[in-house]
Amino acid sequence: MSSAVLPAGVSRWRLVVFAVVTTVLAGLLSLTDEPVSPALAAMGLLTLVYMFAGAFDAVREHPGFPLASAVYTTLLFAGGYASGALSNLLWGVLAVLSALGVAVKAYNYRHGTSYLRFGAE
């Protein structure tokens, strides 16, 4: 019995998680009768693109990946704020804090520093 072999540099488990999340999102979309807001649709699509790209080692090992990850998080929180889901105050605070993180990551990326990093990276 032959099995599909993934190319070197592709994380099998990250692809499995991507497939599960894609299936869950598709299932949730099929269960709703109401139209999905553009902000929520953008959040879902952004998450799928981020998860798929993260399955590749070359993407995760790029020096700009922490900055891209911080931008993704900020856009996710801003989308939550725009969608009106849950508390707008919570989404707004998280988006602002995340935007500060983007500023720090951008500075670190540009200057090769490691300010405000926790743990060993």
The reported pLDDT for the residue numbered 39 is 86
Question: How far is Cα 92 from Cα 4, in angstroms, rounded to an integer?
Answer: 44
98-111: pLDDT as tens digits: 999 999 999 999 99
Which pair of tokens denotes residue 27? Answer: 């299932």
Which pLDDT band, with edges at 50, 70 and 90, does 1 fall under? very low
The reported pLDDT for the residue numbered 37 is 85
Tell me how many domains the chain contains.
Answer: 1
Arithmetic mean of pLDDT, 59-76: 94
Domain encompassing residue 50:
12-111
What contacts 50, CB < 8 A, 6 or more positions away? 69, 72
Which pair of tokens denotes residue 110? Answer: 């540009």
Question: How far is Cα 97 from Cα 108, in angstroms, rounded to an integer?
Answer: 17
Question: Which of 27-31, 66-70, 117-121 is predicted least confidently?
Answer: 117-121
Arithmetic mean of pLDDT, 18-28: 95
The reported pLDDT for the residue numbered 117 is 72
Task: Identify whether 117 is part of a domain.
Answer: no
Q: What crossing angle do the helices spanning 65-83 and 38-53 adopt, rounded to 10°?
A: 160
Is residue 121 scored above 60 in pLDDT?
A: no
Task: Identify whether 81 is part of a domain.
Answer: yes
Task: Identify whether 1 is part of a domain.
Answer: no
